[in-house]
Amino acid sequence: MEYSPFNRSTRTTRTPPPSTPPTVMQTPTSSEPIKTIPTPELQQWMTSIDLCLNEVCSIATEGKLNSDQKMRISSLCRKVGQSTSQLVVQYMSLKMDATKAQTSIVSLQNQLDLSQKLQELKNSIEESSKPDSGTSFADMVKKGGQTLIRPNNLSTPAIYPRDKSKSSDDTKCLLQKIISPEELKLHVRGMRKVKNGGVIISAETKGDIDKLKNSEKLLSSGLTMEEPTKRRPRIAIVGVPLALTDKEVFECIFEQNIADKFPKATRDSFLATVKLSHKSGKKNLPTCNYIIEVPPSIRKALINQERIYINWTSCPVRDFTIVTRCFNCQQFGHSAKFCRESCPTCNYCGELGHSFKECNNKAHAPVCATCKRFKRKCDHKTGDESCPARKFAEEKYINSIDYEGA
């Protein structure tokens, strides 16, 4: 038996290749790990190839071949073995590179996911920090020309007892006992209790209130009626240049917008009737928004004009009807500075006992804290433009303003 270059001097039994075919390497994705041929599987394949080459050499040495033919077969087997070894080495190198690439892809994907989550959190915080979702000054400007706000014509006087020890329930019971809506033909919308033992009546017209006011039974019952004192309207002037002082702004408003409409008015009389409520706007802009209180007649003239001319600037003007919402209890009508609640209410989930930053329910849909408190439908954001509680607060605010029958 001749010498074999692979030291295989005995005949060996043919070994079949592994029954499990090698898996195919696929392009890695963010959700699937890279698919490779395991090292034990490669070793099994190499062993199988070696056994096959060993068998070829054994057959060659035992057959009726001359020395040259046997050497050629041995040489070919050696080359096949070397090439197979090189192929395995190259594959292992590619496998390492692919594994490193997959690790880099997963790391980058995790960084991208983290970046997206941080951006979503930032957007959520910015949105929740807005005083009233959907009603910024920018939105007010985008809406373009607007019709005059028209409050309902309901008359709402307050009735109080002269005896300060009486409660609102006492006043309500006494009023319903002595006054017959059928006899006076009153059109009463409703009644609600107020402080100091009073009740407020909502009637269809002022004539209904006059009937009630002139009733002898009311006058002799120890009850008094007070007409509500309405507040002056406020308007928002958007985009006033910061370079101008408050005095210059008001003087420009009068000279460029009021003087020709009210010839009898003077600058001093105008300045005495208007009042700056507050300013708002972003700090990095060269302009701000003026919210001012004005008499109803001046408000109507400026709103109809739609723009106020201040020096070289044309500023949109709108009725200011944004109601204050407390960021502690999430109720309308007061700010957190004057809130009486000691425990915060979350403006995202509506739960009592934590703030937005501490909320663990952000994976769920938002819940309106205001509507939830009054057991109303609350499947919307707190302070949303379509929120029934917000609409009620805005309507209540509008009806408390003196628009002179606008």
Sheet of strand 223-226: strand arrangement: 188-194, 198-203, 158-161, 223-226
pLDDT for the residue 154: 64
pLDDT for the residue 151: 60
Cα distance from N-terminal residue to C-terminal residue, the chain: 120
pLDDT for the residue 49: 78
pTM for this structure?
0.54
Maximum distance among all Cα pairs of the chain, rounded to whole angstroms: 143
Helix axes 39-62, 67-128, angle to 10 degrees: 170
pLDDT for the residue 26: 46
pLDDT for the residue 92: 77
Cα-only R_g, the chain: 43
pLDDT for the residue 66: 75
Place of tokens 């309207």: 233
pLDDT for the residue 86: 74
Sheet of strand 234-241: strand arrangement: 275-280, 287-293, 234-241, 313-319, 307-310
pLDDT tens, position by position, 14-33:
444 444 444 444 444 445 66
Residue by residue, DSSP assigns 6-24 as T---S-----PPPSSPPPP
- Could you tell me where the beta strands, DSSP code E, fall in 253-338? 275-280, 287-293, 307-310, 313-319
Residues in the chain: 406
Residue by residue, DSSP assigns 81-114 as HHHHHHHHHHHHHHHHHHHHHHHHHHHHHHHHHH
pLDDT for the residue 223: 86
Show contacts of 258-263: CB within 8 Å, 24+ apart: 258/298, 258/301, 258/302, 261/301, 262/297, 262/298, 262/301
Residues of the chain with pLDDT under 70: 1-35, 62-63, 124-155, 405-406
